[in-house]
Amino acid sequence: MPELQILIFTVIALALIFDFINGFHDTANAIATSVSTRAIRPSAAIVMAAFLNFLGAMYSTGVAKTIGADIVKSAQHVDEHIIIAALIGAIIWNLLTWWIALPSSSSHALVGGIIGAMLISTGPSGLNFYGIGKIILSLVVSPIIAIVTGCIIMTLLYRIFGRFSPSVINWKFKKMQLLSAAMMAFSHGSNDAQKSMGIITLALLTGGYIDAFEVPFYVKILAATAMGFGTAIGGWKIIKTIGGKIFKLEPISGFAADLNSSIVIFSATLLHLPVSTTHVVSGSIMGVGTAKRISAVRWGVAQQMVIAWILTIPCTALMGALAYQIVLWIF
């Protein structure tokens, strides 16, 4: 029992660390557009994003149940060693991509870590390939949807406000960006924080601390708080990549990107589907840029990001598998 308790506490600690890193790793997604267009001061943007991330994380637990229940066939196939290894793999990947200022998906990293640890421990028989397919499909399709809808929203805004002078449009949409950035921060919290909630709840279920996969209230508070603090720290390296290297944003295009991203992400939350905030925001910016002209998007930077997206699950699966062997040796 003491060893089990140590393992459970290790899972909770690592899940909260993952949530914290997710917060500062993905801060750029919520505020990069409004900061890059100078619609809001960076310090004020981070405080706003941290608060709304917390509120969003408290919204529901549907995504948590998908993450915790759809990757593996049953809780009997999972133990704390597997969960610890998966979290270690995801955390290492997030820190690595943050260090080189490359936007990547925390969601992909976590899914990859779980798959790798499961394959090396129980083999393919323990994985729910239907559930994994559904999760990966939502992660892959969501940025494509974001590109298309981002282009549509930006085109509509150009047609509605095209007769106004650029100075008037910029002045109006700098204020509107406060609303769109707030929506983006809330939707980010509503989807991303639930991934750690799902992992912690899965560990509590496998350890016999709860009888059914229902996220306890204290787990929601812990995960929401960790993400809020992580957001408050800020992820300035990735903010520069998201906010300026894909497409030179103006207030109207920044508003369109944030509005589109928040709609796509929150829709996924309502459907209990995990999506990558990084992928959706990047896709939205690409779509918004394409509405102006295709050449306005820096496709070379976009290509580097796509390569990172493709590599995330295989790399974190390998990290999760290696981490599992180390965890077994330690514990």
Q: What angle do CA 259, 175, 282 make, to 5 degrees?
A: 30
- The string of DSSP letters for 13-70 reads HHHHHHHHHHHHHSHHHHHHHHHHTTSS-HHHHHHHHHHHHHHHHTS--HHHHHHHHH
Distance (Å) of CA 144 to CA 105, 261, 280, 282, 290: 15, 12, 8, 10, 13
> In whole angstroms, what is the distance from residue 331 CA to residue 327 CA?
6
Q: What per-residue confidence (pLDDT) applies to 181? A: 84
Domain encompassing residue 167: 2-330
The total number of structural domains in the chain stands at 1
Q: What is the pLDDT along the chain (331 residues), one digit of tens a residue?
A: 566 688 889 999 999 999 888 877 766 666 777 777 777 777 777 788 788 888 888 887 788 878 777 888 877 778 888 999 999 999 999 888 878 767 677 778 888 999 999 999 988 988 888 888 888 888 889 989 999 999 999 999 989 987 888 778 888 888 888 888 889 889 988 888 788 888 888 888 888 888 888 889 899 899 888 888 887 776 555 555 554 555 567 888 889 988 999 999 999 999 988 888 878 888 888 888 888 877 767 766 667 667 777 888 899 999 999 999 999 888 7
* Residue 271, phi then psi, degrees to nearest 5: -90, 5
Tokens matching residue 101: 């200022």
Q: Which amino acid is at 47?
A: V
